[in-house]
Amino acid sequence: MSDFDYDLFVIGGGSGGTRAARMAAGETGARVGLAEMSRYGGTCVIRGCVPKKLMVFASEYADVAEAANDYGWEMTRGAFDWPSFSRHLNAELDRLEQVYRDLLSKAGVTTYDARATLRDPHTVELSSGEVVTAKHILIAAGGHPVRPDMANADLGLVSDDIFHLERLPKSILIVGGGYIACEFACILKGLGVDVTLYYRGAQILRGFDDEARGLIAEEMGQRGIEIHTGTNIVEMRCAEEGEIEDPDEARMGASVDQIGELAGDSGLATQEREDDTEAAERKGPIWVKSTNGGEHVFDAVLFATGRKPNTDDLGLEAAGVQLGRRGEVKVDEYSQSSVPSIYAIGDVTDRVALTPVAIREGMAFVDTVFRGEPTPVDHAYIPSAVFTQPEMGSVGMTEEDATEQEEVEVYCTSFRPMQTAFIGRPDRVLMKLIVSKASRRIMGCHIVAPGAGEMIQLAGVAIKMGATKEDFDRTCAVHPTMSEEIVTMRKPVRSG
């Protein structure tokens, strides 16, 4: 009999942690405990991918009536009912959280609704007062959005807060230029909010392919999103009465009771809901001064300026776990930390902050530790999508990164798709392949188009398998589709 209470104790009930716990308990027979201080499902299910994507769907209906009229239908656009959508959204999140709880229970995982901290490499102390020991500990605590270090930053929202608003603001300033900033800019614009975006860099979506992100910026601008690059906030405060055009309409705020009602409060994680509504209780509007000297008043300000691993006050350093400069747990290719008994996966490691990656890391951890099959985490050729309007899908290297590595050929086309060109809209899409001159292998694929996330998943299979440009050329096109261009581009537009 082991001297430990558990073979594995997991800190964090997000997608990565729950997958590791379920596999270890249900498939290898390990004794597993898991602690989650908030809601099961983590960032993705509760305050990230899932609610955001449902908001994307909602926002995309804004132009349906107008497009349908152009196609011969008689339709009238109605108003968007945020409280109704919010109730439905939160009921769905409650359902998904219960699914996570049920899956853990069926796998035989013992769960603790408590905050966990480390006493030493094998001991976990829970906020409920219990102390447990484990042969292995897996840190899967995720990350959180951060506000900039400036006066009155607490007046602004972060991405978590968007899902807890009583009603939508009439205008919003989004600070940041990454995928979260751009996705919420498109979502909120589609839901009827006037959106302005400040980004201190020269172009939004840094790190993505230059040509692709340029088209995204252009399309966002055509949809009425006001983008100011090279711009940041230097000062913000509550707007004074004389600065507010319509003080009654500009007010936005919600009490904890109102949020509980909107959320269809099931009794799950009530404290987190109360914590998450702090920003919703901050009254707008907000006066902002920018680096270019402009002064404006917005109903709300959303900071999408970065995320930080949830490692504060976990007892990691006291247990001997080495952290990086951003507070991330430093791990090797097997997700093992500097302490042999402690592993970490997901956003807390600041490697690739994507839910499917955290799940893969959790599975590799179980193979390595509980199946005796050392499995390094594979972070090569990971497909990803940015759910702007239009979407962007990417897999592999950008043109800029690839050309620094070797000689490449670039195949690219941008055009007006049939569906919107027919009704006279200026929307454009982009299909792009980066090809190694030496091996002919496709090093990168980038798509900007409606449904690009769906397309890139399928392209990612071929590219992960090592497909060459000639493999794509041999593939027959599906006509008429946007995606057929991926296999019909014959001449490179440039090389180098």
Binding-site residues: 53, 176-183, 306, 347
Active site residue 479: yes
Can you say which residues are annotated as belonging to the binding site for NAD(+)?
176-183, 306
Cβ 109 vs Cβ 22: under 8 Å: yes
Which tokens in the block code for residue 296? 């404006």
Annotated catalytic residue, options 88, 122, 379, 479: 479
Known catalytic residues? Answer: 479
